[in-house]
Structure 1
Amino acid sequence: MRVTDYNTEVPLVSQIMQGDSFKVLKTISDNTFRTCITSPPYWGLRDYDISGQIGAEDNLDDYIDNLVSIFREVRRTLTPDGTLWLNIGDSYTSGNRRTRDPDKKNMARGMSYRPPTPEGLKPKDLIGLPWRLAFALQADGWYLRSDIIWHKPNCQPESVKDRPTRCHEYLFLFAKNEKYYFNSEEIREPATSRKGWRNRRSIWSINTEPNQYDHFAMFPESLIEPCLLASTLECDKVLDPFFGSGTVGVVALKLHRRFCGIELNPKYLDISYKRISELVRS
């Protein structure tokens, strides 16, 4: 699918590509994108019933290695001053339970498979997956610049009695090189103790947003907007190799950026087509 935005002096052409992210990225030229904003499938939390899906690996190290390989291709396709914004959540070991029943409050959590407990961890352990991935990407050559806490004031309740309910995920900022484009003025926030504005802090309180589509974990647009404003200019091209329902593309078009979205799941492609077509027609 190609999308053209005529609300600028120069028409901006964007595209959605179906396929395996690693294979599709191999077809894209070096230095194409100013930034990448994405959230890969989390390990062992959802079964999308798609052959080759990321997140369904039995071995945690395989999951991390697969993502490192994909983001190595992402780094190649970024401009020299490019950045990566990576949203990733944590999870707990399954205790070697191989299935999970649906939750009345969250039917999407039901799974026909679950990975075994990773070596070195115990049942009920918090895996620390975001930091394992962040350190693996850092070791592969990325500059790890910030760990942002996405605080969800309206987080989903959890039926647990032996730990606090989780209400946050991580949003990591990586850079391709030591020097990179970052416009802090575009994302300044109101100062709390005095009048005026201050540099954006590293805890972002942003509600999840309800949606009418069959997608359980859509990005809120207000999470994507500051990433785009800080790391791109109008007409720049943005990558999301796990496009899902297309929120990165929606926000990019609203801010007059171009986008390239890659998605393996045909169901999510249909959602992104619908959302972006409605936006272009409006």
Structure 2
Amino acid sequence: MLTNYCYQGDCCAVMRDLVAAGVRVQCIVTSPPYWGLRDYGVAGQLGLEPTLREFLDSMVEVFDLCRELLADDGTLWLNMGDGYVPCRAAGVKPKDVTGQPWRLALALQDAGWWLRQDIVWHKPNPMPESVRDRCTKAHEYVFLLTKSERYFCDFAAMQEPVSGGAHSRGAGVNPKADIPSGWDTSAGGHRALKGRYAGTGVGFGRGYDKVAKPRAKQNASFAAAVAPLVDTRNRRSVWTIPTQSYSEAHFATFPEALVEPCVLAGSRPGDIVLDPFMGSGTVASVAQRLGRRWLGAELNPEYIALQAERTRQPGLVLEVAA
């Protein structure tokens, strides 16, 4: 079986061939065409169906094949943005939000997928809009879907750094957050009580008396013990990631920083990551860089060359010991 390869052709036809060949992938990360957004100029493309219902039916068919390819403990990370009803669509209200991300997610849930998470991709640098009767859209969704309630997820690999007073394991774990109300934490770590306790000698720092020493030692020991535990925390469900420019002729490249946590959490080194809508090859590039193998499908032959350029530098693939 070929890996680190994108098959040029219709994604459903490609995936049927892969299923017939007995291929299994551990993780799928993809961003399909959005309905009514743009014409890529390729016969057979998805996204130009006359109605949203037909588009959703097409997507369910695509992801039924994805589910056949996916390992039983695998995960699907699906990026989908929203849009507005195009003028060409018959029988619909113009300017209506299509709601296609959630319509698709619920359609896939009805088709048998487990819908485990809706992640908001917040774009701090959204595309400017000249509208004056609504807000500028600055987010899309990433849905985490699985084949069952049990699946592989490398929880630690996608954690994020702790910021501010946040902590990862509840109240009383972060030493900075575990300071009683009224304590002054200024002046190089000196902690003295304010208000009615000021000047009493009760505190944590210079001038504290024998009564406070046991508590100070306890706090210091506690802080030293838990310090390694709070460098990172469980990744939140809102990911602030700027869009990433791409100089070549592809209109809808999603950023590598959006793909990376999905690949890290959804696969191990040496596993196969699939993108049935490979486009310019972002998923392939990230998977290869992280030591995963990859497969893809792409209808537009012009994009195959873009993928080859982005994956020209081989990644270090580590095989998992049996």
Pairwise TM-score range, normalised by the shorter structure: 0.7 to 0.9
Q: 1:41-94 CA deviation, whole Å, 9 max, x = no partner?
A: 110101011111000111111110011001000000011101100000101112
Kept in 2, the 8 Å contact 1:19–1:262? The answer is: yes
* RMSD across aligned positions (CA): 1.8
The list of structure 1 runs, each at least 4 consecutive aligned residues, that deviate by more than 4 angstroms after superposition, is none
Kept in 2, the 8 Å contact 1:91–1:128? The answer is: yes
Kept in 1, the 8 Å contact 2:36–2:85? The answer is: no
Once the two structures are TM-superposed, the CA of residue 196 in structure 1 deviates from its matched residue by 2.4
Q: Which of residues 4, 7, 17 is equivalent to 2:7?
A: 17
| Corresponding residue of 1:108 | none
Q: 1:168-203 CA deviation, whole Å, 9 max, x = no partner?
A: 000000001110001111111122314522111000
| Corresponding residue of 2:62 | 70
Which amino acid counterpart does residue 80 of structure 1 have in structure 2?
D
Once the two structures are TM-superposed, the CA of residue 14 in structure 1 deviates from its matched residue by 1.6
Kept in 2, the 8 Å contact 1:31–1:80? The answer is: no
Kept in 2, the 8 Å contact 1:138–1:144? The answer is: yes
Larger gyration radius, structure 1 or structure 2 = 2
Is 1:164 the counterpart of 2:135 in the alignment? yes
Which consecutive unaligned segments of at least 5 residues does structure 2 have? 167-229, 316-322
Change (3 A) 1:145 1:31: farther
User: Which aligned pairs between 1:90-169 and structure 2 lie closer than 5 A?
Assistant: 90-94=82-86, 96=87, 115-117=88-90, 119=91, 121-169=92-140
Identity among equivalent positions (%) equals: 48
User: Which aligned pairs between 1:244-263 and structure 2 lie closer than 5 A?
Assistant: 244-263=279-298
Q: Which of residues 125, 150, 173 is equivalent to 1:179?
A: 150
SS at match of 2:144: strand
Once the two structures are TM-superposed, the CA of residue 280 in structure 1 deviates from its matched residue by 3.1
Equivalent pairs, count: 250
| Corresponding residue of 1:225 | 260
Q: Tell me the distance in 1 between the aligned counterparts of 2:288 and 2:305.
A: 18
TM-score, length of structure 1 as denominator length? 0.85
